[in-house]
Amino acid sequence: MEFSGRKRKIHTSPHAEHYAHALQFYEQPPTENICLSEFETFAVDRVKLLKTVENLGLSYVKMSDDYNKKLNNEAKVLNFPYRPDSDHISHFILRLAYCQTEDLRRWFIQQEVDLFRYRFNDLGREQKLEFLHRNNLQYNAISDKEKVALKDQLISSSYGLSGVTIEHQDFYKVPFQDALDLVRARKVYLQAGYVYIPHQDIITIVLNDFRTKLSKALALTARSLPAVHSDERLQPLLNHLSHAYVGQDYSFQKNVGKISLEQIDSLSGKSYPLCMRQLHQAVRENHHLRHGGRMQYGLFLKGIGLSLEQALQFWKSEFIRGKVDADKFDKAYAYSIRHMFGKEGKRTDYTPYSCMKVILSNPPSQGDHHGCPFRHSDPELLKQKLQFYKVSPSGIEQVGESNFSLNHPNQYFIESQRVLSGGKDIKREMETPQRLQENSAGSTAAREAANASQDLAGMTDLDSIFQDP
Amino acid sequence: MPTSSEYDPDSLPDLLPLYYRRLFPFSQYYRWLYYGGVQKNYFQNREFSFTLKDDIYVRYQSFSSQAELEKEIQKMNPYKIDIGAVYSHKPNQHNTVKSGTFHALEKELVFDIDMTDYDDVRTCCSAADICSKCWTLMTIAIRILDRALRDDFGFQHLLWVYSGRRGVHCWVCDEAARKLSVAARSAVAEYLTLVKGGEETVKKVVLTDPIHPFIRKSLDVVEKYFTDYAHEQAILGHNKSVDKVLALVPEEVRQVLQKDFQSEKTPEKRWDLIKAKASMKKGDDKKQQYFQEEIMLQYCYPRLDVNVSKGVNHLLKSPFSVHPKTGRISVPIDLKELDKFDPFAVPTISLICEELDQPRTGEKESEDKKEKENENNATERRKIRDYKRTSLAKYVKYFDQFLDGIACTWKGELLKKSDLQKQF
């Protein structure tokens, strides 16, 4: 397959023009000197901004009017960027802090891409064209003859594309590898390995470009880390910055042994989020669970405190009832359970899946029980299930505006246990948080669902090497 | 004396040595994975995994030459061979490499279509069973995916392989395909996915305007097979399956159809009724207007396992590997004869081993003489004679044709490289 040659001019003109508006590809690192306190302030402010971007992305559909308004306000409140060059500098500082692990990189790239998208969309049409031109993004435009020949295909490939639009706009032929988001969602015409993109949609390409470049840059940055860390002034700050983003990952080593296997059934009724309740039920009923379900539920169990021995006992006892003999279990399934606990292979101690990961990666297919019921189930079936689990009708309809945001199944478990152990007097208050939890899970998840297709690219799958025996 | 159509899994330990010594097409296999030597160490850095007797599984096997590959396989007699990625270093030395630097670089883009993923829409079989009635699903899957991978994505070198029991695999061997990132593989797989949802989802296909050309073209394929397939599966014959079909239809239409079906019992006429209601919907109230297409797609459109396609390091069963449960060889499928392909006619290891013992005819004697003159190596001679005497021959021949196809691209690459060198 041929790739059209793309020449990119490295932008080297003076600051004034460079910072005319904050949007840039961050291709050149800053060269100024700044003092240490500025180093810290710039960085911290950017982290705050990126966290805002993340939170807004969970509560609102990205690029919706609400989202844009709120982000605009928040940026003003944070007074970001403080100076024209602080955006540039802070980005590069954060590269140092966030290049160190796969998780950190993924988070940083995601928020920077969302921020970029917001800023680009904020530009007027003329400014957009000017930006593209300035950054020399040249994809080959197709001839008018070709446009006419492809007109019907182009119209039926994209929502909202009329014959008139096609006539008046340039269409670019782009290798499909450079437009993965559009290919993934089938929002574009694809032929012989090239997608045909109207000028108005070129942003997706630009974003992909940005994401790829940033990803490569972070990998390079990671190599220079030892030198950076040897500077005593910077090391504590960078550590602080990279820990700032991480919500709890619920590895929960300290909880091990506090749960007994006998408790699991009752716990599943009381404190499991719906997805895990569903999985547990499937295990009990079918005495089997496919790989995706074993990963999602197995890691959750680890998070709530099951030890490796208990986990092996649990799975083995179920699978044996499912007519897998003990030998086969030891050979085929025990390995992957030990792998989950970091006792095999790379010895990575895998963390339980967050809601984001459950919703966005590995959608369930025929025969699967994993996934997020609020995202992956039929609305009717979901309603029935919630009714069965005794969530009140108003609870189901209600779209919670609560401050409690649920983004991890193990978080649900902990909060639920906390509430349940709070004593008999606050029984009434107990119901509300539980219902709110169901609702926020529902509403949060529903909104996340709207953003789902955009975020999937770039998520590496730790367990992709395993297949079902 | 067991007939050639009977395969006994217990005989595998006796048959495998024979298979690997005299029948496995090692030189074609090596020719494939060597990819013309365009990239240095491409074969040496390829991971293989073996499943041995008693379910012992070994990963990170790698070999420095065809001879070494042959020797090891003949020594270990694996029940199953998987092919993995080309890594940054020799996989069998991965423990000696500095932590973090050993990683997968390239691999063919692969697809795995498994009949069990269609259990909710086939009535003839379930789980590991297949029959000629549901095999149509594989034919449809191959036609749709082959067209899309070639026409839409521009890939040219596709190898379709029978998995040995209940499905098919596709190996996309173009250089561009081998170099795809995880994100790109997942995007391709999602583009090709129309049926979504697990146990909890009733309606797995939802179409909205505009209908993308890819969906249109896939529907064209499904339409060719659907009427016969639906008839064979009797999806509109029995109450239970009728209910399943009607669950996919908008509610108000469902009620009308349920009444109509009480008097109309013929499956073909019932489908006509559904089609009629669908075109009415398209005429006036365009909401949910594509339910006829959605039914056809939910019943027939290929269901692929995205996880198999996503991972660069994912291991997939090798062509010409044996399926331990059925004894069938994972043979490449010639698409020119796709409609005639019969999974139950695929040779088993016991069949081809038996065919080895058959006495040679006079014709074959003269053929062998000619080969004697052309070949120097006695073992090579015997090997070439051997598989050609068996039912495996036509599959190896087809594999050769496939390799001739890709070989053109290697020649181009090697020329380019030598040209570049000459410039200095």
Instruction: Tell me if A444 sits within 8 A of A266, measured CB to CB.
Output: no
Residue B415: its pLDDT value, please?
Answer: 84
User: 3-state DSSP call for residue B244?
Assistant: helix
Residue A240: how many CA atoms within 13 Å on its side-chain side? 9
| B82, B112, B293, B294: the active-site residue | B112
Answer yes or no: B10 catalytic: no
Q: Is the minimum CB–CB distance between A163 and chain B shorter than 8 Å?
A: no
Task: Say what the ipTM of the complex is.
Answer: 0.89
Q: Catalogue the long-range contacts made by A207-212 (C-beta closer than 8 Å, 24 or more residues apart).
A: A207/A113, A207/A116, A207/A117, A207/A120, A207/A181, A208/A178, A208/A179, A208/A180, A208/A181, A208/A457, A209/A25, A209/A137, A209/A178, A210/A25, A210/A112, A210/A113, A210/A116, A211/A109, A211/A113, A211/A457, A211/A458
Residue A9: its pLDDT value, please?
Answer: 36
Residue A440: its pLDDT value, please?
Answer: 40
Has residue A299 been placed in a domain? Answer: yes
Our count of domains for chain A comes to 3
Instruction: Tell me if B304 sits within 8 A of B316, measured CB to CB.
Output: no
A51 phi and psi angles, rounded to 5 deg: -65, -35
d(CA A41, CA A36): 9
The CA-based dihedral angle spanning residues B315, B316, B318, B323, taken in that order and rounded to the nearest 10 degrees: 120
Residues of A (312-331) whose Cβ lies below 8 Å from B: 328, 331
d(CA A44, CA A244): 9
Please tell me whether residues A304 and A345 are part of one structural domain.
yes
Answer yes or no: B112 catalytic: yes
| Distances, alpha carbon B350 to alpha carbons B29, B356, B382, in Å | 21, 10, 19
Q: Is the minimum CB–CB distance between A260 and chain B shorter than 8 Å?
A: no
- Out of B116, B154, B315, whose CB is closest to A193? B154
- Out of A180, A278, A363, whose CB is closest to B187? A180
d(CA B161, CA A94): 48
Residues of B in contact with A465 (CB under 8 A): 311, 313-315
What confidence tens digit (pLDDT) does each residue in B184-206 have? Answer: 999 999 999 999 988 889 999 99
d(CA A420, CA A270): 9
- Out of B190, B201, B214, whose CB is closest to A377? B201
Residue A82: its pLDDT value, please?
Answer: 72
**Residue located via tokens 């989020």:** A273
Residue A391: its pLDDT value, please?
Answer: 63
Residue B359: its pLDDT value, please?
Answer: 60
d(CA B252, CA B259): 11
d(CA B361, CA B347): 21
User: 3-state DSSP call for residue A343?
Assistant: coil
Domains in chain B and their CATH numbers? 9-191+304-421 (3.90.920.10), 198-300 (no CATH)
Please tell me whether residues A173 and A191 are part of one structural domain.
yes
Has residue A60 been placed in a domain? Answer: yes
What confidence tens digit (pLDDT) does each residue in B3-43 have? Answer: 445 899 999 999 999 999 999 999 999 999 999 999 999 99
What confidence tens digit (pLDDT) does each residue in B375-388 have? Answer: 556 666 665 668 88
pLDDT band for position B372 (50/70/90)?
Answer: low
Has residue A114 been placed in a domain? Answer: yes
Please tell me whether residues A125 and A141 are part of one structural domain.
no
For residue A464, give the nearest of B103, B173, B174, B90 by alpha carbon.
B103
d(CA A82, CA A45): 9
pTM more than 0.90: no
Residue A35 among known ligand-binding residues:
no
Residue A345: its pLDDT value, please?
Answer: 77
Residue A223: its pLDDT value, please?
Answer: 86
The radius of gyration of chain A from alpha carbons, rounded to an integer in Å, stands at: 25
User: What does A76-137 look like in DSSP terms, one character per residue?
Assistant: HHHT-SSSHHHHHHHHHHHHHHHSSSHHHHHHHHHHHHHHHHHHHHHS-HHHHHHHHHHTT-
d(CA A39, CA A35): 6
Q: Can you list the residues of chain A whose pLDDT is less than 70?
A: 1-22, 125, 129, 136-139, 244-257, 389-406, 422-469
Please tell me whether residues A303 and A410 are part of one structural domain.
yes
H helix count then E strand count, chain B: 16, 8
Subunit contact B198:A278, Cβ cutoff 8 A = no
What confidence tens digit (pLDDT) does each residue in B396-414 have? Answer: 999 999 999 999 998 888 8
Q: Is the minimum CB–CB distance between B371 and chain A shorter than 8 Å?
A: no
Please tell me whether residues A182 and A223 are part of one structural domain.
no
pLDDT band for position B374 (50/70/90)?
Answer: low
**Residue located via tokens 């068996």:** B390
For residue B133, give the nearest of B342, B331, B295 by alpha carbon.
B342
Other CB atoms within a 10 A radius of the CB of residue A409 amount to 27
Residue A436: its pLDDT value, please?
Answer: 37
Please state whether beta strands B57-61 and A194-198 pair in parallel, antiparallel, or not at all (unpaired): unpaired
Please tell me whether residues A88 and A142 are part of one structural domain.
no
Ramachandran sector of residue A102 (left: φ over 0; alpha: ψ -120 to 50; beta: rest): alpha
**Residue located via tokens 């994401």:** A211
What confidence tens digit (pLDDT) does each residue in B42-71 have? Answer: 999 999 999 999 999 999 999 999 999 999
Instruction: Tell me if B400 sits within 8 A of B28, measured CB to CB.
Output: yes
d(CA B45, CA B90): 4
What confidence tens digit (pLDDT) does each residue in A288-323 have? Answer: 999 999 999 999 999 888 889 999 999 999 999 888
Q: Is the minimum CB–CB distance between A378 and chain B shorter than 8 Å?
A: yes
Q: Is the minimum CB–CB distance between B153 and chain A shorter than 8 Å?
A: yes
Subunit contact B117:A177, Cβ cutoff 8 A = no
| Distances, alpha carbon A1 to alpha carbons B148, B150, B153, B154, B157, in Å | 16, 12, 10, 8, 12
Has residue A12 been placed in a domain? Answer: no
* Element (DSSP H or E) covering residue A198: strand A194-198
Please tell me whether residues A145 and A39 are part of one structural domain.
no
Please tell me whether residues A407 and A287 are part of one structural domain.
yes
Q: Is the minimum CB–CB distance between A16 and chain B shorter than 8 Å?
A: no
Please tell me whether residues A99 and A233 are part of one structural domain.
yes
Length of chain A: 469
Residue A261: its pLDDT value, please?
Answer: 87
Please tell me whether residues A175 and A45 are part of one structural domain.
no
Q: Which amino acid is at A201?
A: D
- Write the CATH number for A213: 1.20.930.80
Residues of A (184-203) whose Cβ lies below 8 Å from B: 184-186, 189-194
What stretches of B284-361 show up as alpha helix (H) in DSSP? 291-300, 306-310, 349-357
Per the prediction, chain A carries an average pLDDT of 76
Give B104's strand partners.
Answer: B87
Please tell me whether residues A115 and A144 are part of one structural domain.
no
Residue A139: its pLDDT value, please?
Answer: 66
Residues of B (187-206) whose Cβ lies below 8 Å from A: 187-188, 190-191, 195-203
pLDDT band for position B358 (50/70/90)?
Answer: confident
Has residue A82 been placed in a domain? Answer: yes
What stretches of B77-234 show up as alpha helix (H) in DSSP? 132-147, 175-178, 182-191, 213-233
Subunit contact A192:B154, Cβ cutoff 8 A = yes
User: 3-state DSSP call for residue A154?
Assistant: helix
Output the 3-class SS for A275-316: HHHHHHHHHHHHCCCCHHHHHHHHHHHHHHCCCHHHHHHHHH
Has residue A411 been placed in a domain? Answer: yes
* Element (DSSP H or E) covering residue B60: strand B57-61
Q: Which amino acid is at B413?
A: E
Residues of B in contact with A461 (CB under 8 A): 182, 307, 310-311
User: 3-state DSSP call for residue B203?
Assistant: coil
Subunit contact B212:A193, Cβ cutoff 8 A = no
Go through B166-197 and write b for each residue having 16 or more CB atoms within 10 A of its CB, e for each that does not.
bbbbbbbbbbbbbebbbbbbbbbbbbbbbbbb
Answer yes or no: B223 catalytic: no
Residue A438: its pLDDT value, please?
Answer: 41
Please tell me whether residues A66 and A155 are part of one structural domain.
no
Residues of B in contact with A376 (CB under 8 A): 197-198, 200-201
Residues of B in contact with A460 (CB under 8 A): 182
Range of the domain at A399: 262-426
Residue A245: its pLDDT value, please?
Answer: 55
Who wins on pLDDT, A429 or B115?
Answer: B115
* B70 CA: distance to closest CA in chain A (Å): 26
d(CA A109, CA A94): 11
Contacts of A254 (CB under 8 A, 6+ apart): none
Has residue A25 been placed in a domain? Answer: yes
The 8-class DSSP code of residue A405 comes to -
- Out of B55, B153, B313, whose CB is closest to A332? B55
Q: Is the minimum CB–CB distance between B363 and chain A shorter than 8 Å?
A: no
Q: Over 60: is that where the pLDDT of B312 sits?
A: yes
Residue A136: its pLDDT value, please?
Answer: 67
Residues of B in contact with A191 (CB under 8 A): 151-152, 154
Instruction: Tell me if B79 sits within 8 A of B322, measured CB to CB.
Output: yes
Per the prediction, chain B carries an average pLDDT of 91
d(CA A410, CA A271): 10
Has residue A458 been placed in a domain? Answer: no
